């Protein structure tokens, strides 16, 4: 489906963030790129972007983005960009002869909203607007938001000055070409060239449908406060990874998100982060192999730091839309090597302190248990995903294993740590085998 994006405005209230509003980066990606990538995730595959202020700079970026994303992005210049947004929509009339998605370059949203909107079956003379019925949302800028009055799935009225309203305009539309006739009608009849004016015309005819977004994420990034809220919400969503263990969820993830927030502003790839995390684990293993408590303690700290950093590769990948099957596999392979190095280093430390061959057996069982627990993770997680995500079942994963290594280093208990890891990891693996057998 085609997608029209309005990106003509100046955005003077975000001037401190950048000269061109569509190109202002938020967590490493320009606003317009984040909107386009979100729409692509929803199913849009052909983009028209109406430009205005700093047109040449925005056009140049869109051409480059089109090449990078390997999708069609057509810039359309609106010389009247300082006027109402309805004129920007009209500029795309000749390109749109079928239903299309209409978005704003400064509105971020959950892709499921656009996906479900695009699945609606509209009559040829209808439009649909995503509306937010949570009128008590304290994060909404009541001075700027467009208000909507709806009833039985239909829009009755719309405008910024409405006093009788029950929803907010999210700026996410599914339109038919009827929107262009409504814009012209609004301009001639009411001298109103805003998009809201066209929606009023269609609403009066019962042809403007309201699509309730049901509490899903959207935000108009129109001022510094909204910009900060958008960053906070996007980062908070990174913490909702269903297969995170308790250490990842409550310790590692809050710290790794803060690191990722800085990393996205640099030309660092997720795979580079994975490799650096692995090298930190190798360094920790080398420190474990040295004698003395200080080396053991320092190794434990480096190992835990590597574990925290290990979450950043996936976070940066999601923030910058750089996730790939290879990247996930590459990270998993390095994690297995890192585990082997860490446990071997710990075994070396314990054996050097007490030359007992039984320590080597315990170290071997710790490594095998860790590997088998990782090997069984995919099937176990797929069966237990809902229970794990709701905190009803403990997920014994790498986060717990590395944290145990960290605690063992802090309390100078290398041998005891190996025993605990060997016992716990192997028992957890056997338990998974039983659970997976009982669930087919």
Give the domains, in start order, of the chain with CATH numbers.
2-227 (3.90.550.10), 241-438 (1.20.120.1760)
Mean pLDDT of the chain: 92
- H/E stretch holding 109: strand 107-109
CB 376 within 8 A of CB 268: no
pLDDT the model gives residue 38: 96
Q: What is the mean pLDDT of residues 139-154?
A: 90
Interval 176-194: pLDDT, tens = 999 999 999 999 999 999 9
Residue 433, pLDDT above cutoff 90 = no
Residue 130 and residue 137: Cα distance in Å, rounded? 16
User: How far, in Å, CA of 305 to CA of 127, rounded?
Assistant: 52
| DSSP H or E segment with residue 129 | strand 127-132
pLDDT score, position 393: 59
129 beta partners: 173, 210
Report yes or no: 169 and 147 within 8 Å, Cβ to Cβ.
yes
Given a cut of 70, whether residue 425 has pLDDT beyond it is yes
User: Can you tell me the mean pLDDT for 4-22?
Assistant: 89
pLDDT class of 196 with cuts at 50, 70, 90: very high
pLDDT value at position 118?
Answer: 95
What pTM does this model have? 0.86
Residue 388 has pLDDT above 70, yes or no: no
Task: Specify the pLDDT at position 382.
Answer: 67
For 200-204, 382-386, 429-433, which range has the lowest pLDDT when averaged over its residues? 382-386
Write out pLDDT tens, residues 329-367: 999 999 999 999 999 999 999 999 888 899 999 999 999
Q: How far apart are CA 107 and CA 234, in angstroms?
A: 13
Q: Are 311 and 254 in contact (CB under 8 A)?
A: no
Range scoring the smallest mean pLDDT among 28-37, 206-215, 385-394, 412-421: 385-394
At residue 389, does pLDDT exceed 60?
Answer: no
The DSSP result for 88-101, as a single string, is HHHTTGGG-SS-EE
Q: What is the pLDDT of residue 384?
A: 64
432-438 average pLDDT score: 81
Summarize pLDDT for 267-315 with one digit per residue, the tens: 999 999 999 999 999 999 999 999 899 999 999 999 999 999 999 999 9
Distance between CA atoms of residues 175 and 92, nearest Å = 12
The crossing angle, in degrees rounded to 10, of helices 398-410 and 414-438 is 160
Mean pLDDT of 70-95: 95
Asked whether residue 242 carries a pLDDT value surpassing 90, the answer given is no
| Three-state SS sequence of 157-198 | EEECCCCCCCEEEEEEEEECCHHHHHHHHHHHHHCCCCHHHH
């Amino acid at each position: 489906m085609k997608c029209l994006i309005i990106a003509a405005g100046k955005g003077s209230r975000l001037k401190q963030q950048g000269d061109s509003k569509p190109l202002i980066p938020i967590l490493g990606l320009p606003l317009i790129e984040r909107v386009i990538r979100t729409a692509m995730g929803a199913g849009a595959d052909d983009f028209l972007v109406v430009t205005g202020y700093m047109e040449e700079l925005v056009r140049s970026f869109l051409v480059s983005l089109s090449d990078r994303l390997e999708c069609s992005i057509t810039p359309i210049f609106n010389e009247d960009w300082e006027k109402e947004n309805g004129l920007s929509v009209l500029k795309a009339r000749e390109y749109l002869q079928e239903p299309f998605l209409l978005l704003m370059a400064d509105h971020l949203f959950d892709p499921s909203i656009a996906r479900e909107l695009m699945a609606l079956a509209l009559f040829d003379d209808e439009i649909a607007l995503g509306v937010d019925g949570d009128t008590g949302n304290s994060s909404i800028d009541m001075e700027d938001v467009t208000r909507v009055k709806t009833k039985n799935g239909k829009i009755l009225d719309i405008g910024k000055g409405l006093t009788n309203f029950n929803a907010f305009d999210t700026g996410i539309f599914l339109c038919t070409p009827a929107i262009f006739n409504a814009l012209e009608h609004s301009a001639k009849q009411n001298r109103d060239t805003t998009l809201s004016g066209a929606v009023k015309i269609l609403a009066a005819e019962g042809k403007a449908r309201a699509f309730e977004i049901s509490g899903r994420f959207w935000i108009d990034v129109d001022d510094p406060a909204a910009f900060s809220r958008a960053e906070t919400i996007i980062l908070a969503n990174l913490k909702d990874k269903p297969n995170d263990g308790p250490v990842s969820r409550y310790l590692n993830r809050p710290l790794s998100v803060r690191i990722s927030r800085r990393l996205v502003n640099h030309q660092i790839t997720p795979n580079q982060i994975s490799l650096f995390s692995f090298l930190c684990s190798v360094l920790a293993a080398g420190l474990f192999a040295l004698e003395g408590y200080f080396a053991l303690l320092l190794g434990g700290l480096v190992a835990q730091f590597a574990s925290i950093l290990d979450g950043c590769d996936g976070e940066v990948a999601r923030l910058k839309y750089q996730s790939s099957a290879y990247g996930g596999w590459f990270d998993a392979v390095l994690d297995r090597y890192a585990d082997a190095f860490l446990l071997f280093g710990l075994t070396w430390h314990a054996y050097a302190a007490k030359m007992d061959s039984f320590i080597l057996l315990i170290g071997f069982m710790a490594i095998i248990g860790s590997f088998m627990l990782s090997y069984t993770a995919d099937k176990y997680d797929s069966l237990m995903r809902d229970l794990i995500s709701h905190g009803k079942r403990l997920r014994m994963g790498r986060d717990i294993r590395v944290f145990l290594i960290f605690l063992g280093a802090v309390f100078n208990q290398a041998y005891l740590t190996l025993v605990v890891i060997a016992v716990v990891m192997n028992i957890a693996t056997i338990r998974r085998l039983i659970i997976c057998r009982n669930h087919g």
